[in-house]
Amino acid sequence: MSPNRETVRARIEEVRPQLADISRWMYENPELAYEEHESSARLADFLARNGFAVTHPAYGLETAFAARVGTTGPHVVICAEYDALPGVGHACGHNIIATAALGAGYALAPLADSLGIRVTVLGTPAEEKYGGKVDLIEAGAFDDVDVAMMIHPAPMDVVDPRCIAVAHLDVHYRGRTAHASAFPEQGINALDAAVQAYVNISTLRQHLLATDKVHGIIAEGGEAPNVIPDYTRSSWYVRADTRRRLDELLPKVIACFDGAATATGCEVEIEYVGHIYDELRSDPLLVELFQRNAAELGRSMLRGEAVPPSQAGSTDMGNVSQVVPTLHPFLSIDCYPTVNHQKEFADHTITPKGEKAIHDGAVAMAWTIVDIAESGRWDELVKAPTQMSPTA
């Protein structure tokens, strides 16, 4: 093992208890998308106290931060996520993601100049809903970046997971109130529209591709049973294997919403919530090196094709992967049959297996960067589509 790799392991062992403490604090104090004020401040403070030049807030987002070290050479960005989910807290494990990013950055900090690299730990808010990384892309946070990476806890180890495109929609129906028993003919029932839309989507599903997914909830459905509802709001996720397929699918879904408005006499407003997420592209060199490093830590990483397509989720890291060579592996916290977005998953993040994922993720990410820098393999990274020239 090279001295640099030994330094990485030793430094992460040094802060291992601190990282576990921060992860537990985040578990106990979950904050939703774009409300992560305390979480981002705590993460940024750790980095500022450990030699990073920290900008917080950053890139026009109140809960984003950028912590930098190194003066010249290829630029590595390690992404930290820290928003929680409504009702189930850190049931996607962003407390593990954030603290693994801290660990990897801390380990690389004293090596940056000798390796000839620049390292940024980038605080990326609002992954669960609005797509904060897209805001950061548009603000220039990834303009001068050679590699972007993060890890994500899961029930299994997968080095290049399938993450698919998604659009978030809110659908508003507006009708007219009336007494539901005495004068129902005077009303226009917005709940009927929402229910009809749900049925329309259910009917559409039998004609979709196996990799297409549409799911939603009725978030607001009326105030009282004896008042015909004049307003309802439903929230929907529409997913497809690629952004191109998503663009084909969305008009069919929107036709379901429009049809329900026509059938019930309601007005409909379809609102895109946040950004559309692209599918994830995992860089082959990063996959190769991370898989090898994870094996050295005792993790046998599956490849994405070994996982059923039906188990795919989505991430705004997909948008990053369209502009920068990217890695976004899943690390097991040994929790199955508990899975992401169940409250019990949040509980697993603060177990010894959750803390091990922080450690292993930090070490494997830092080792991967050390390997590329020591071997000078930067040119082997595959250019993302938007980095390529029009004739490429």
* Domain finish residue from 241, 272, 303: 272
- Indicate the number of domains in the chain: 2
Residue 271 is predicted with a pLDDT of 97
At a CB cut-off of 8 Å and minimum separation 6, what does 161 contact?
152, 154, 280, 282, 304, 307, 312, 328, 329, 330
**Average pLDDT by stretches of 10, the chain with 392 residues:** 94 98 98 97 98 98 98 97 96 98 98 97 96 97 97 97 97 97 96 98 94 96 96 98 97 98 98 97 97 97 83 94 97 96 96 98 98 97 66 34
Residue 90 located in a structural domain: yes
**Do 296 and 245 fall into the same domain?**
no
Residue 392 located in a structural domain: no
CATH number at residue 330: 3.40.630.10
Residue 387 is predicted with a pLDDT of 60
Residue 1 is predicted with a pLDDT of 73
**Do 368 and 288 fall into the same domain?**
yes
**Do 189 and 259 fall into the same domain?**
yes
**Do 202 and 159 fall into the same domain?**
no
At a CB cut-off of 8 Å and minimum separation 6, what does 276 contact?
131, 165, 166, 167, 243, 246
At a CB cut-off of 8 Å and minimum separation 6, what does 109 contact?
50, 51, 52, 69, 119
Task: Please give the single-letter amino acid code of residue 175.
Answer: G
* Domain finish residue from 225, 245, 272: 272
**Do 227 and 330 fall into the same domain?**
no
**Do 125 and 228 fall into the same domain?**
no
**Do 315 and 365 fall into the same domain?**
yes
Write out the two tokens for 106: 């801390």
Residue 367 located in a structural domain: yes
**Domain span including residue 241:** 170-272
Residue 24: strand, helix, or coil: helix
* Domain finish residue from 272, 301, 324: 272
Residue 69 located in a structural domain: yes
**Do 127 and 9 fall into the same domain?**
yes
